[in-house]
Structure 1
Amino acid sequence: MDVVSTSTSPFACKVCNQAAHGNHFGVISCRACAAFFRRSASSKWSKMSCRGGSCDQETYSCKPCRLQKCRDAGMDTTKFQYNREIIPQVGQFTLPPPSIESYVGRPEFLLFCDTDAPNAKVLIDVRYLLEEAGRILNYGPESPVFAENQLKKFTQGFKFVRLNVENLQKVEYADQKELMEMWEYYFLLVTKWLMYFDEFQKLNRHLQMTLLQSIWHVFQKLHKYVGTMAYHKMNPYAKKTNVIIKNVFMDMENVTIDTNWMSDYPKEHVMRYLMVQTCHDFDILAALQELDPTEEEYTFLFAHLCFQYAGKRYQGDILRVTDSFIEILSNDLHHYYVEEQNRPRYFLRLAKLMKINNAIQKAIWESRPKMELGRVFNVLKIEFSHPEMFEDSGFY
């Protein structure tokens, strides 16, 4: 698919080389870099050196290095222009937006949209999210990990999966902020979870980041089912449409979802498009409720689903790595069933676990033709700085 530019300006940002939108702090630059410099010029980052050690790569830059790039380009807080004008487009002259805050919001990674451009796209910049993941990878697990095998160590990270019923938040209206916070939550959650698996920590940074960018949304799908199942187990009379995502409770019959920012199509059509991967939801929830897995089984299920998906998607080195991960965890699961559970005939139970795994992957594979058709007709007007991170997520 051709990338649709977010600006018709012929100028390039002196900091990041993306399309510029005006003169900010004395430098021709984009709104994203201007907003970053405004927030960071007097922050702690101005006194720090490179944090990640990987800023020579194009995937992301840490905040101290990005701030230095801004200064090297000539940005200076004394050059703030209160009535600056946007770079004029050929044949027209447009007024600037009322404020940068119109284009930059929470969470930390940036969202901005050039509404003056024809067929404007919403660009999601996730470089800061990748930077934060790199920081977690550098520091390792949040707590010491001691266990007899890899599955047991991995299970200690189940605290990131377990539903916290004490802090459920009810959401009746979901907009772009809610969606982006969910993406941020799950990407960082998966990063922390993988830190409890020794074999993942042995990989080089490129393979680690490739795996992270490919599996976080698959993890999210299973996490939604596990959280929803746990909620329905504690509330037997809950409606089938009650869903738990992250730590948020939603009744899908009554929640209002804002789709205007992501699509120009009618809301009902967009929702039908976004729900294409949920066709097996009730079957998966019923299978989980019947099986009621232990924490070790849940850990194996999450790991097997994520690693198998990544291996099928990338093949090659990634497939060899993920196959070795699955083999190690399968051996440990065998030991768990036979030695701890005294269940030598566990094959039927394992088959039921794999049935859940296969149903989730089947929903992903079946949705691909519809997602491709949606891209042809531009159902979603979202673009990503790292589109590979959102493939098969339902938003690409």
Structure 2
Amino acid sequence: MGHSQRSRGPGYFGNELLQRQIAGVTRRRSVEMGRMKNKICEICHLTASGSYFSVVSCRACAAFFRRTAFLNIVYVCQKDRFCDVTKKKRFSCRSCRYQKCWDKGMRPSMIKGLENSKNSWPASTTTSETGSSPSGCSQTSESTSLNGLDEHIKTEQSIDGHPATPAEIRDFMDRRQKAGNKMQEVLGSKKAISNLLVPIKLTLVQRGLLALNEHFKKWPMCTPEKVRPGQPFTLEEWVDDLQQELVNITEFCMAFEEFAGLDKEQKGAIFLPFWTHFLVLERYRTTNYCLPNTTTSILLLYNGNYYDLEERHIWTRKSKSMKMIFDFAKPQIDKETQLMDDQLDRTALTDFELVFVMLQIMWTLKENPELTQATKDLAGNVRQRLSSEIHDYYTNEMNRPNYAGRLMQVMKIVAAFSEVEKGREEGAAAFKAFSFVPDRFQAPCSPRR
């Protein structure tokens, strides 16, 4: 099964103690004494949720600052650098919004996992244009400074005990950039992806079944005939597969015209909380298909290698990378499998029910200020259609008119995913080994119990 753990710590280096004393403790005391009386976000002037990074702010602005700092993104304002970023205009210019976070006192070193960050604007960047914000502000995404990254990687040894070379680092960053560009390209389209010409109009779940079948084909080694006991793998190999899977999941989402027709910002707001749950369900289904009689905890990777996590001590002795990954994933694996695996095993979802659960999770939108009312209304309409489709499935195809008990079991799985989402600590720190990988794209695959 899959977990969402966010990596922390890009290759900044600075005076943590001094910065935290000056910018952290003093600022926090000021907040506690005065600003908390006024529950207004100092960045966007909407209702504040509390004090984040020593500034009274809402969760959205705090998450925006954290994400920008972790990904080391540089935004460029195309106006005069004094854009209004309050209330409904908070999305108009990311550059000015980030600048305002700094002006109010937020610093990267205040973020757990970035304590060694320099509290200054990035000086040396390698940028490539990845798109435009709604206001027309160009967003340039910084590939982490190669010198700083090289300095960091030298402290982390690869599987054979040798530090990664600058060329290896550059190659890894290039692959990451290509995967990111592919995702942007897919999400930027407003045309649904379809590889099949079907003469009839398909329901939501029918389209999902076809899209899921296409998804399975993208990992040809994950079949009963080809899966095999695993060999030691490196962190880079694991991340490469995960980034390819992210592209695959975006293509699954784009199979639905309801999703494809949304603006890019709305797609992102739906996709980011959904993809880890898709990963959980897809890996669970694939593991049961490839290894149906397995009773131990199995981690099945996309290359067809599988690992018995009850014997992970053997692998952690063989590979430093695998030790880091298993140590990183194990606490969340235990937590999520306790919530979900018993229900999944007990319910034994059909493929129709599996896709129904995926789409219910996808369109059950959490509170997010970036979501428009039109998107929320669309999500409600999709859920109504799903309810009608599951009714038709049980009564007509399964000949099960009294299906209330079965549907309750299925919906408990959807609810379990919501509990997992609530239990994830937004600011959880992760390995230094993940410091050069975007935090939003870290979710190790969890095992099947």
Query: Normalization by structure 1: what TM-score?
Result: 0.61
Matches within 5 A, 1:297-336: 297-308=353-364, 310-312=365-367, 316-317=371-372, 319-336=376-393
Change (3 A) 1:261 1:101: farther
Cα offsets for 1:294-314 (capped at 9, x unmatched):
222111011112332x43566
Residue of structure 1 equivalent to 2:289:
230
Higher RCO, 1 vs 2 (CA within 8 Å, ≥6 residues apart): 2
Residue 338 of structure 1, CA deviation: 1.8
Matches within 5 A, 1:241-256: 241-246=297-302, 247-255=304-312, 256=315
Residue of structure 1 equivalent to 2:169:
103
Change (3 A) 1:326 1:277: farther
The answer to whether the 8 A contact 1:133-1:191 is kept is yes
Residue 240 of structure 1, CA deviation: 0.9
The answer to whether the 8 A contact 2:229-2:305 is kept is yes
Separation (CA, whole Å) in 2 of partners of 1:295 and 1:201: 23
Change (3 A) 1:156 1:349: same
Residue of structure 1 equivalent to 2:31:
none
Unaligned runs of 5+ in 2: 1-5, 15-71, 77-120, 149-162, 217-221
Separation (CA, whole Å) in 2 of partners of 1:338 and 1:168: 37
Unaligned runs of 5+ in 1: 22-28, 34-49, 67-84, 88-96, 111-123
Aligned pair partner of 1:359 in 391, 416, 430: 416
Aligned residue-pair number: 306
Residue 216 of structure 1, CA deviation: 1.4
Instruction: Output the aligned Cα RMSD.
Output: 4.5
Residue of structure 1 equivalent to 2:348:
292
Change (3 A) 1:360 1:322: same
Residue 252 of structure 1, CA deviation: 1.8
The answer to whether the 8 A contact 1:243-1:251 is kept is yes
Amino acid in structure 2 at the alignment position of 1:156: L
Amino acid in structure 2 at the alignment position of 1:102: E
Cα offsets for 1:225-277 (capped at 9, x unmatched):
222233342xx2x3412232434422223453699679xxxx57x74553333
Matches within 5 A, 1:332-343: 332-343=389-400
Separation (CA, whole Å) in 2 of partners of 1:58 and 1:169: 46
Separation (CA, whole Å) in 2 of partners of 1:296 and 1:363: 23
Change (3 A) 1:298 1:290: same
Separation (CA, whole Å) in 1 of partners of 2:421 and 2:319: 22
Residue of structure 2 equivalent to 1:202:
261
Cα offsets for 1:166-224 (capped at 9, x unmatched):
34354332322232123223212212212332211222222123322332122112222
Does 2:334 correspond to 1:275? no
Query: Normalization by structure 2: what TM-score?
Result: 0.55
SS of equivalent to 1:333: helix
Separation (CA, whole Å) in 2 of partners of 1:324 and 1:277: 33
The answer to whether the 8 A contact 1:137-1:191 is kept is no
Amino acid in structure 2 at the alignment position of 1:152: Q
Separation (CA, whole Å) in 1 of partners of 2:227 and 2:188: 28
SS of equivalent to 1:250: strand
SS of equivalent to 1:143: coil
Separation (CA, whole Å) in 1 of partners of 2:9 and 2:328: 21
Change (3 A) 1:57 1:141: farther
Amino acid in structure 1 at the alignment position of 2:196: S
Amino acid in structure 2 at the alignment position of 1:198: E
Query: Alignment identity in percent?
Result: 16
Does 2:183 correspond to 1:130? yes
